[in-house]
Structure 1
Amino acid sequence: MPLPIAAAYRRKRTEDCTGYRQVFGSCGLTSRHFGVNLINIKYIMELRQMGTENDKQPEQLTRPYKMQARARSAAVTGERILDAAVGIFYEQPAENLSLEEVAHRAGVSVQTVIRRFGGKDGLFTAAAEREATRIAEQRNQAETGDVAGALSILINHYEEVGDGIFRMLAEELRRPALRKIVDLGRVYHRQWCERVFAPALADRRGTERERRLVQLIAITDVCTWKLLRRDYGLSRNETELAMCELLRPLIPEGR
């Protein structure tokens, strides 16, 4: 027991002694009946009370840690579910996305998936939004005016997810949630082209600038990649070169 607490109990012994003698004395009992003196009875009882209070402290201290651990576990489970959904999406049409298959791959119950994302559309939207964020981080590495570097990053992106994107485009009219995601993708690609090809747009205004921007968007669109890479069988490097040759007349030398 810490010294300050022990000292406090020693100071209280004299005060408590009289009261305890009165209680036990009225019953005809003395300290000899207990084998201890009355002051020590008070001391022992209060020590036990302190022990009971101290026993509660570890639980109170560990409660925030347990809550944090549960939150981390829930976050990991959510990411695992999204990983499973994204994997399935890149393998097959979105309409074949099954909550049962997602749950099986993620190692959770279907009810856990529903409780976390609210159903198939909610799961699909969450998975697509996370993928969009990841893809944007990848594509945003392209520097303004660096056409060759930007094309290399873009082709790498299409090689990884181009088939899934094109599958999404084919299904957007049948799924409203999918249409929203596709529209956001179009907006992002337009903004990406405006930033990357800004030097080629700098001297143009109005409809002339808009026409040039749309040309740049079309040449670098996933549909152009699919036409060159999948439909006509060009290699990855040949596809990148073909896109570069299409862009060259639209980008002045030195820009």
Structure 2
Amino acid sequence: MADHPEDGLVVHEAVRDPAGRPVDLRFAWVNRALERIAGRPVTGLLVKETYGDDAVLLPAMLELVGTGGQAVHEVVFDGDPLDPALRGRTLTAYLTSVGEDLVVAQYRDVSSERRLLQRLEHLAGHDDLTGLPNRRLAVEHLERAMRRLPRSDAGVLVLLGDLDGFKEVNDTHGHAAGDAVLRAVSADLIGAVRAGDVVARWGGDEFLVLCEDVDEPTAAAVADRLEAAVVGQVLPDGTRTAVTLSLGAAWTGLSLEPDGLVRVADRRLYERKATRV
């Protein structure tokens, strides 16, 4: 591992019990970057006595003592660590055993990189306008739900819908008003589903709702409830729209393949729309 000017470097010295077994490590030497990461001077302190349960790497380091081996670990301080300076930080630790009693640790703070990666992963799977899962992530949710399909009367319900009257809003009030409608409908749907159900933007003015552990008699009632939840939206200028939602439902009793469920839901959506014209 190449040195990096912001890396924290530590030389740990083993502390042994009367039987000669390593039971703790002392901070024998640290560089200034490590003290910035730790938030205080630590030279001479014992790892276990200083950090208690936060000393999550101590067992791994003790196993390395005297072996001449190396290891790499990542530690996420996402709770309430003893040292407030570590809260919310992610460190990668490169550990090397030297001689009989020393473990050299090189700590790199990768918190910013991990946050950026999480942000990019979120953006890749979510719609920027509504914040809902996008089509790609919705398909992943559906595939996982199908793999979890219980061997019982309950199953997976897919609802595919689009908005009636949405084009008129765009044509009359502009695309900013259309965007406001899409955000409002997203909020309406989220408020009408159970915790754990998935509401996704399928594309354009289309939405997909995924519900697990639903029996066939309940499926139609779920669709009716969600359609009733979308009953017109108030635009920023105070105008109330007449936009409604039509949904097509497909339950796992009809198909055991994700693509098949979506196709059935799509066909039933347009059958539903035809009855509302």
Structure number with bigger Rg: 1
TM-score w.r.t. the length of structure 1 is 0.25
Structure with more strand by fraction: 2
TM-score w.r.t. the length of structure 2 is 0.24
